[in-house]
Amino acid sequence: MTRDDCIALDRDDRLAPLRDAFALPEGILYLDGSSLGALPRRTAARLAHVTAQEWGQGLIRSWNDAGWIGLAGRIGDRIAGLVGANAGEVSVGDSTSVNLFKALSAALALQKADAPARDVILSERGNFPTDLYIAETLAASNGLKLRLAHADDLVDQLTNDVAVLMLTHVNYRTGRMHDLAERTRTAHAAGALVVWDLAHSAGAVPVDLCGADADFAVGCGYKYLNGGPGAPAFVWAHPRHTGRMDREQLRQPLSGWLGHAAPFDFAPSYRPAVGITRFVCGTPSVLALAALECGMEVFAAAEPHGGMAALRAKSLALSELFIDRVEARCQDHGLALVTPRQAGQRGSQVSFAHAGGYAVMQALIERGVIGDFRGGDLSHPTGRADPALAADLLRFGFTPLYTRFVDAWDAAEHLRAVLESGEWRSERFARRAAVT
């Protein structure tokens, strides 16, 4: 394949018109949608309208007149369509960490009622740190244990003391993707519930929560959903669990006023709302929700072009092109692929290990190729080599809504130039910024 072939692929790409929906800086190859999605063009105007008109003129009346009170529910229904859930099953608001606390607490409460002897939360050692921190806190405060295992050992670790298996669908470092349905079936067979983190999945890979008979899921609004920095997150619970919580009055632990059955009755005691609404806490950020809604509108625009199936196919083609090109052009420069080659095991990102990973990425960013760096951590040995922990990684996210094939090609060429020239060895690239 040549660069001209990539240009031809972009010309014939049925998803190509979606790129125009984003405000992408000229001369920048943006391969970091796995950390922060690009800005939809419509977002700035939408926020200006919400600020000047709905807030400025409508004032508090806009909760009714502009439909603010139902905004989170409308966005939740759109997200539901991307993750294989039904309308009315997804709650939008708070952060991923807060929603994980709610979902994991609810799962533990259900297991405490059914199998009180089960006292272990099982997770992958390479899971995203906030997930592990939340689980560690819940384990400590509930007299439970947090057990961490290598990804390949999870099945063997599903012993009869495990209450909840907590996993991120696509590993944030390596891009390795669990088989959500198979992992869920295995956990259920072992008597455990499963809480899934879809932060690196929603909007990037097809997800079918209901089809997989999953239990709980949370996800992020600012990565592939393009909702802006710190965008609201989401939480989903299978209807069998919310129904049981309704019947048995089992609560998630953060009983906020908008999760009340009748919040504007202003009753002094809490009565949980029915279904997923009980997972709502406080007043949502209308400005943040308005921005997230703009990000979700692009997915609606993708439907006539093949929807998630087409997005997934392009994502895999982009990442495969990048892997092949980097390996062909960057031999003998100390790079090692840690992302699975098998399409079915790969999310929408590619990670290469390199001993000078941070400096290499800074040199790329100076050239206008924006990815990110994820450092290794050797403080928790697993007894085997684990690229999810031990390596310094160059991470490149491929968002098919706006990433072109020629972008993948050119990024690989820039990476070759950075490594071959040795420019990354400059002292200025080694100075660590607060955010990597």
For 407-424, what is each residue's pLDDT tens digit? 999 999 999 999 999 999
Query: What's the average model confidence in pLDDT over 326-337?
Result: 95
Residue 40 · residue 226 · CB < 8 Å: yes
Residues 432 and 436: their CA atoms lie apart, in Å, by: 7
Sequence ranges of the domains in the chain: 3-30+307-430, 52-294
Amino acid 389: pLDDT: 73
Render 362-375 in DSSP notation, one character per residue.
Answer: HHHHHTTEE-EEE-
Band of pLDDT at residue 232, cut at 50, 70 and 90: very high
Helix (H) or strand (E) segment spanning residue 429: helix 427-430
Render 148-181 in DSSP notation, one character per residue.
Answer: EE-GGGTTTT--TTEEEEEEESB-TTT-BB--HH
Amino acid 384: pLDDT: 59
Amino acid 376: pLDDT: 79
Instruction: Give tens-digit pLDDT for 211-231.
Output: 999 999 999 999 999 999 999
In whole angstroms, how large is the CA radius of gyration of the chain? 22
Query: What's the average model confidence in pLDDT over 188-199?
Result: 98
Band of pLDDT at residue 181, cut at 50, 70 and 90: very high
**Which residue has better confidence, 301 or 382?**
301
- State CA 357 to chain mean position distance: 23
Band of pLDDT at residue 379, cut at 50, 70 and 90: low
Instruction: Give tens-digit pLDDT for 285-303.
Output: 999 999 999 999 999 999 9
Q: Is 56 exposed, middle or buried (0-12, 13-18, 19+ CB in 10 A)?
A: exposed
Residue 86 · residue 210 · CB < 8 Å: yes
Residues 48 and 54: their CA atoms lie apart, in Å, by: 9
pLDDT at 160 over 90: yes
Residues 436 and 369: their CA atoms lie apart, in Å, by: 14
pLDDT at 199 over 90: yes
Helix (H) or strand (E) segment spanning residue 27: none
Q: pTM for this structure?
A: 0.96
Residue 39 · residue 22 · CB < 8 Å: yes
| CATH superfamily label, 3-30+307-430 | Aspartate Aminotransferase, domain 1 (3.90.1150.10)
Instruction: Give tens-digit pLDDT for 125-144.
Output: 999 999 999 999 999 999 99
Task: Give the residue numbers annotated as catalytic, written as ranges.
Answer: 128, 197, 222-223, 395
List residues bridging with 194 in a β-sheet.
Answer: 165
Beta-strand (E) ranges in 169-319? 193-197, 216-219, 234-237
pLDDT at 179 over 80: yes
Amino acid 390: pLDDT: 75
Domain 52-294 indexed as CATH 3.10.110.10: no
